[in-house]
Copies of this chain bind each other. A is one copy, B any other.
Amino acid sequence: MAMKKLFLSLSSFLLLSTTFTFATQHQQGSWQQQGQCHITRINAQDPSYRLRAEGGVSEFWNHNSDEFQCAGVAFHRHTLRSKALMLPAYHNAPLLAYILKGEGIFGVMISGCPETFESSQQTQRQSEEEGSGRRQRFLDRHQKIGQFRQGDILAIPAGAAHWAYNTGDQEFVVVVLQDTTNNANQLDQNPRSFFLAGNPGNPGQEQEQSHGSRRGGGEQRQHELGNVFRGFDVQTLAEVFGVDEETARKLQGENDERGHLIIVERGLQVITPPLAGEEYGRREEGYGGRDNGNAIMAPHWYVNAHSIVYVTRGEGRMQIVNHRGEAVFDGQVGEGKVVVVPQNFAVVKRAGDEGFEWVEFNTNDNAMINTLSGRTSAMRGLPADVVASAYQISREEAERLKFSRRETLFFSGSSSAGRGRVASA
């Protein structure tokens, strides 16, 4: 007899992170692009596609159906078993999530302000001198951990990596709207998930086509997802994280058959800030500070901009990885070359023997960067327990992965884990 309704809107997003200044403006959908809008019949829709994993199942509505194309959004539902962890990932559009059932914790990794890495670093140095109290505040700037339960709303900005864990005994169910035509998305309207761990979307992962609502779009284009680390080579990963190649290989999750939802039986320890890790990092003072290798720029992505890179001097190697974990670029670039790095695509740059200088044009007047390794990285924003579970490594390895590299954006080229070719430079 009751009729209850809840309005969600993208303004909620501001509650989560008031410091983000993304334009949250929703644009016309692709009906617009096709010139005509033939809305002669609307259908009530069931999910059209399921992706099963160790920890549960994700169901995707057909975003190519006329209705969703019109609205310019995508929609999906995740069901996590008890103690299931959704591996960290970021998306090319803002998300709004509504918790239908269950309870848990989540984390969102929000980078420092754009292009203020040096001053951030200074702040941290200062904090370290002043003691642990302020240092902790600094760390908190790069990760947000919260609890949620049935009826809660989560809003995740485009490009912000996040994870979730079911702490309850019951299954946890969340529906998610992805605003693919939001101005914050400068790519196309297809929903894309850039995972930072595991092997999501691998052939071994059970996939199902639902027979319910098959209309709209002939051969259906599925939600695309993959592990970004798979597009980089193991040696580069070892170097930028300051770990050995075996750990680096774990980042790529090559033989990980658990899918994007994994079970962490022992539970997660995430509430306490990882102070021990920070100590560990200090013990290794100078670890990445040697000067006998060529410089590397931390793997990173731009949250809200394309980058157009013009090489002004020298030569370097660039690797660019898409959401399927494929290296869409891996090569040497010299003076006068232009490389376009699409929004959210992860990139690593390594200077050649003669150095590497470039100028970078970003298509946003407040371009925001996220790094994968280093002092202000998304990896540091992940609780050590999430890292250990995601990559199937020990907690100590997890801390090494997080804290080995103490630099922010530019790393010295060689480390004990570096490649021979580079060390000789």
Chain A positions within 8 Å of B, measured between CB atoms, are 1-11, 13-14, 23-37, 39-46, 61, 67-68, 70-73, 75, 96, 98, 100, 115, 175, 177, 179, 181, 183, 185-190, 221, 294-295, 297, 305-306, 308, 310, 312-314, 316, 318, 320, 322, 326, 328-329, 331, 333, 336-342, 345, 349, 351, 353-367, 410
- Which of A68, A353, A362 counts the most chain B CB atoms within 10 A? A362
Bound-complex Cα distance A310 to B100 (A): 10
Contacts of A9 in B (CB 8 A): 305, 361-362, 364-367
Whether B36 contacts A410 by the Cβ 8 Å rule is no
How many copies are assembled?
Answer: 3
Query: What chain B residues lie within 8 Å of A2 (beta carbons)?
Result: 295, 314, 351, 355-357
Which of B72, B185, B356 lies in contact with A3, CB distance below 8 A? B356
**Residues on B with beta carbons closer than 8 Å to the beta carbon of A366:** 9, 11
A sample of 17 cross-chain residue pairs with beta-carbon separation below 8 angstroms, ordered by A number, consists of: A1-B354, A3-B316, A5-B357, A25-B25, A26-B363, A31-B187, A39-B322, A42-B342, A44-B318, A44-B333, A46-B336, A61-B338, A70-B306, A72-B363, A75-B308, A75-B338, A98-B361
Decide if A340 touches B67 in the complex (CB within 8 Å): yes
Alpha-carbon separation in the docked complex, A345 to B40 (Å): 12
Contact A342 B39 (CB under 8 A): yes
Residue of B nearest to A4 (CB): B357
- Enumerate chain B residues within 8 angstroms of A359, measured Cβ to Cβ: 5-6, 8, 98, 175
Q: How far is the CA of A322 from the CA of B37 in the complex (A)?
A: 12
Q: Name A338's closest neighbour in chain B (CB-CB).
A: B45
Q: Is the pair A33, B35 in contact by a Cβ cutoff of 8 Å?
A: yes
B44 close to A338 (CB less than 8 A): yes
Answer whether A3 and B41 are a contact pair too, CB < 8 Å, given A28-B186, A189-B32, A365-B24.
no
A176 to chain B, nearest CB (A): 9
When distances are taken between beta carbons in the complex, the residues of chain B under 8 Å from A331 are 44
Contact A41/B329 with A27-B27, A310-B175, A340-B68 known, Cβ cut-off 8 Å:
yes
Give the distance in Å from the alpha carbon of A297 to the alpha carbon of B25 in the complex: 28
- Which residues of B are found within 8 Å of A188, using beta-carbon distances? 28-29, 31-32, 34-37
Q: Give A23 to B10 CA distance when docked, in angstroms.
A: 15
State whether B340 touches A42 (Cβ < 8 A): yes
**A37 CB contact (under 8 Å) in B7, B187, B316, B340:** B187
- Bound CA–CA A223/B336 (angstroms): 19
Q: Which chain B residue lies CB-closest to A12?
A: B365
A23, chain B: closest CB distance, angstroms: 6
Chain B residues within an 8 Å CB radius of A5: 297, 357-360
